[in-house]
């Protein structure tokens, strides 16, 4: 019997466990948390309480239990553990330390992009204690980021020289190597381009937009939707060049994605890359719209299945008729305890959407944190707007003070404009 070890519960873990079980694989989930806190344990065949950082203990247990595959969800902590554990056990994995490096080092990723003519934003070099000459060369506004972090950790927006030093100090608190990057601030809609990989060849599975509600932090992307109208620009300006970068970067298998912004100058600029599934749960609607199942793909790689690129649907070259969407309810600028969540059952039991909870009742929450993610498929962007509006009206998330803590997307005109 094949046995698959899932490292912890992060986005995608439950879906991968469900798929593995559906093909008769014995599933195991490990981390030190209870099943109520680590949801994949509630559906797995077995679970361990071994911390995912304890590679020696995991190696010993995997040998004893004859584990035949190791995988994880989107956790940037667990992916290096997965790579090391698979190396020790001589098990297959899609990722290597050399290719993973480009996900965790923005400076080297930008260098790889430039070498392959992938468009990126102008950046500025400053020393650890910036000089007046270095600062005088910066054209504001800019973004300051930690080189070795992802998901906007350690990121700040700066409009003047006075903002730079605090932003650098803030980025240093997140960076392990204390290196930062300063980039020209791009102004426009953010997009994600999602790829399937096999033997170093890549197919574009989807291009989708990422929208934040006006007036909320720019990194709180509430609506991710395949209803977008800039595929032709992307295919011309970015796609062939990024595929060359993928080859040179040594990315051979699995899935990867890039975040990019369609700037007000009308051109795309790539921001960063992820060598994993995205954290927005778009893998679910992408499966429905484009026919590519990321969960199946990654589980099969972990179990030693040999793919070829023909197993992936044809690369997209035109907008699809269906609209896939992930709608994320974030917490607002408060912190406290999630007291009650209501209205979700009515949405899910009617088959209108699937919900992925990040926090449950009784859990502590902080400002601007994922609460719930709804994924659904509609015929057009107008139906997407109607579904989001329905969720806004029916779903309630209250704290211990009885206050509604969910940020809700209502900028439907912008969604219609992009999805026309």
In a domain, 136, yes or no: yes
Residues 80 and 229 in one domain: no
Cα distances (Å, whole numbers) of residue 136 to 24, 77, 166, 172, 317: 62, 37, 17, 22, 44
Two tokens, residue 83: 């790579």
Two tokens, residue 280: 């927005």
User: Nearest CA to 17 among 275, 26, 253?
Assistant: 26
Q: Which residues contact 349 (CB under 8 A, 6 or more apart)?
A: none
Two tokens, residue 243: 């595929």
Cα distances (Å, whole numbers) of residue 294 to 26, 139, 239, 269, 291: 20, 40, 20, 25, 10
Q: Please give the full DSSP string across 138-157, using - where no structure is assigned.
A: --SSEEEEETT--TTTT-EE
Residues 284 and 318 in one domain: yes
In a domain, 315, yes or no: yes
In a domain, 15, yes or no: yes
- Give the per-residue pLDDT at 170: 87
Residues 315 and 215 in one domain: yes
In a domain, 167, yes or no: yes
In a domain, 338, yes or no: yes
In a domain, 16, yes or no: yes
Q: Please give the full DSSP string across 175-194, using - where no structure is assigned.
A: -SS--EEEEEPP-EEEEEEE
Regions of the chain where pLDDT drops below 70: 148-152, 177, 218
Per residue in 151-189, pLDDT (tens digit) is 667 788 888 888 888 888 888 888 776 778 888 889 999
Domain count, the chain: 3
Residues 311 and 171 in one domain: no
Residues 12 and 161 in one domain: no
Per residue in 223-240, pLDDT (tens digit) is 999 988 899 999 999 999
Residue 155 belongs to what domain range? 122-184
In a domain, 345, yes or no: yes
Number of helical H runs and strand E runs in the chain: 15, 20
User: Nearest CA to 97 among 246, 249, 255, 258?
Assistant: 249
Name the burial class of residue 170, with classes exposed (0-12), middle (13-18) and buried (19+) by CB atoms within 10 angstroms of its CB.
middle
Residues 346 and 211 in one domain: yes
How are beta strands 336-342 and 364-365 bridged, if at all? antiparallel
- Measured CA to CA, the distance from residue 47 to residue 6 in angstroms comes to 9
Residues 218 and 329 in one domain: yes
Q: What is the CATH number of the domain that holds 297?
A: 3.30.470.20
Residues 390 and 285 in one domain: yes
In a domain, 113, yes or no: no
- Give the per-residue pLDDT at 309: 81
Residues 179 and 300 in one domain: no
Residues 321 and 392 in one domain: yes
Cα distances (Å, whole numbers) of residue 284 to 12, 83, 289: 9, 25, 9
Only one residue has tokens 């998901």, namely 151
Residues 127 and 227 in one domain: no
């Amino acid at each position: 019997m094949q046995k698959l070890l899932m490292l912890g519960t992060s986005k995608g873990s439950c879906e991968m466990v469900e798929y593995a079980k559906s093909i008769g694989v014995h599933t195991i989930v490990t981390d030190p948390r209870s099943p109520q806190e680590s949801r994949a344990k509630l559906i797995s065949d077995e679970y361990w309480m071994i911390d995912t950082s304890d590679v020696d203990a995991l190696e010993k247990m995997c040998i004893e239990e004859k584990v035949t595959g190791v995988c994880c969800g989107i956790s940037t902590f667990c992916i290096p553990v997965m790579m090391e554990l698979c190396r020790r056990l001589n098990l297959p994995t899609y990722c290597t330390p050399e290719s993973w490096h480009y996900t965790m080092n923005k400076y080297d990723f930008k260098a790889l992009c430039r070498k392959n003519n992938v468009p990126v934003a102008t950046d500025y070099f400053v020393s650890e204690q910036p000089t007046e000459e270095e600062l005088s060369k910066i054209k504001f506004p800019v973004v300051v980021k930690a080189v070795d972090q992802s998901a906007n950790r350690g990121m700040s927006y700066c409009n003047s020289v006075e903002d730079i030093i605090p932003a650098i100090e803030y980025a240093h608190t997140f960076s392990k190597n204390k290196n930062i990057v300063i980039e020209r601030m791009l102004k426009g809609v953010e997009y994600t381009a999602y790829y399937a990989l096999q033997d170093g060849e890549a197919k574009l599975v989807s291009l989708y937009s990422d929208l934040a509600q006006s007036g909320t932090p720019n990194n709180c992307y509430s609506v991710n939707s395949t209803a977008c109208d800039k595929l032709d620009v992307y295919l011309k300006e970015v796609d062939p060049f990024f595929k060359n970068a993928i080859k040179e970067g040594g990315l051979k298998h699995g899935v990867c994605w890039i975040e990019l912004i369609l700037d007000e100058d009308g051109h795309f600029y790539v921001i960063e890359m992820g060598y994993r599934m995205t954290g927005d749960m778009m893998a679910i609607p992408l499966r429905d719209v484009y026919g590519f199942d990321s969960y199946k793909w990654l589980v099969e790689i972990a179990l030693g299945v040999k793919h070829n690129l023909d197993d992936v649907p044809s690369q997209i070259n035109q907008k699809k008729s269906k609209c896939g969407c992930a709608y994320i309810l974030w917490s607002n600028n408060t912190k406290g305890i999630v007291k009650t969540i209501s209205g979700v059952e009515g949405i899910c039991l009617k088959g209108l959407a699937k919900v992925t909870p990040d926090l449950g009742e009784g859990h502590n929450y902080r400002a601007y944190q994922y609460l719930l993610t709804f994924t659904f498929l509609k015929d057009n962007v107008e139906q997407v707007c109607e579904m989001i509006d329905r969720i806004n009206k029916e779903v309630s998330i209250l704290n211990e003070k009885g206050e509604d803590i969910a940020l809700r997307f209502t900028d439907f005109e912008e969604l219609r404009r992009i999805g026309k």
